Amino acid sequence: MSDILKSARDRLNENLMEIKQAYVNFVSQNPEMVDQIEKTVKTSSYLFEALSKNYDNSIFISELITSACNLFAYANTKILLKTRNLISQTDENKFVAKLKQALTVVEFSQAFLELSAGRLGGSGARWAVIVVITIIKTILRCLLLYMFDSGLQSPALVTMINKTNIATQATNSDENENIYIGRRTGHQMATLSSSYSKWENPKPENMNCWNLYPSTLNKREKIGECLHIIRPMLHLLSTGVFGTKSLLPWLAALVVDTSSHALIQRDHKSERPYNPQEKQELRRRYANLIVYLLRSPVYEKTTGPRIHKILHYLSEHLPLAHYVVQPLSKYLPAWQRVYFYTWSD
């Protein structure tokens, strides 16, 4: 009996390995098709959310599909980088890679886990999941910052690599062998073995994020980045002390966020400029300051009523506008609860 079970297990393992290898071959040979499939699935989830009448259920299902799709997209990206021999260009050790993978999985699953906990266990379970996830993210990011000099850290969805760019990078791999990429600045220059007359300096926007080393942060900049990392945890702690309806946690998070921006800011003429990916992250953080207007409790007390007044005015005075405005006004409170919380990145 044991021999039969062992034989069946071996056959199952062989079949699973064949399926895995077939999937790896498909992804590595068809990056553009894989990218289009992922975009189609995401778009379908957004359309389902927009057309559904049950707003809470539609957001839950849409977030489930989006989280799964993001995780598959991340796995597909890793497959492409590995099969195209591009992942080694980062010189990351295995432990750092595992930390970043864990952080990515947590980030992609966060909203869905919160929604699931709220539906199954109520508000208490939802807040418990929020606290646990925030603690995990804070610990992982502090480890990456202080033990491995990770520089400015971006959310996983922001740093997701376009698969078409990976294919292009692999196609031009022979040319890239004669290009040196600075470890800290990300600047590219021709090596002595390359043909200087044929080489052109690539534009920063065309540089691939997996080729860029993080900038070295000084003591002041590390404090600023640390403030950005611990801001969600500080907000949750102050919310536990003062309550969800108090303005003090919101103000504390805003002060910490603006202080972080001030500390990590570098002069445009600095000899140590941030690399293009880090500059993009700084722009994203500045833009996110506007999102504070959509976060509780300011949204309920100030921003929300004004937005609904504007939407009501547009619905009454613009022809056919109510077909768009009315569903939008019903979705806004649900979106605000799920996506615009102060402990997010």
Split at pLDDT 50, 70, 90, the class of 219 is very high
Note whether 87 and 81 are within 8 A (CB).
Answer: yes
Confidence class for position 143, pLDDT limits 50, 70, 90:
very high
User: What are 24-55's pLDDT values in tens digits?
Assistant: 899 888 888 888 888 898 888 877 776 777 76
Percent of the chain having pLDDT more than 90? 24
Q: Nearest Cα to 173, choosing from 88, 87, 86, 277? A: 86
* Cα–Cα dist 211/264, whole Å: 22
Q: Is 86 helix (H, G, I), strand (E, B) or coil?
A: coil
238 membership: H or E segment, kind and range:
helix 219-242
Q: What percent of the chain has pLDDT over 70?
A: 79
Give the pLDDT score at 213. 74
The pLDDT value given to residue 38: 87
pLDDT at position 195 is: 47
Phi-psi region of 145 (alpha: psi -120 to 50; beta: other; left: phi over 0): alpha
Question: Tokens 């504390």 belong to which residue?
Answer: 252
Cα–Cα distances (Å) from 146 to 99, 225, 229, in that order, read 13, 10, 12
Who's near 126: CB < 8 A, 6+ residues apart?
Answer: 114, 117, 118
Q: What are the pLDDT digits (tens) for 103-129?
A: 999 988 888 898 899 889 988 998 999
Asked if pLDDT for residue 251 goes beyond 90, the answer is yes
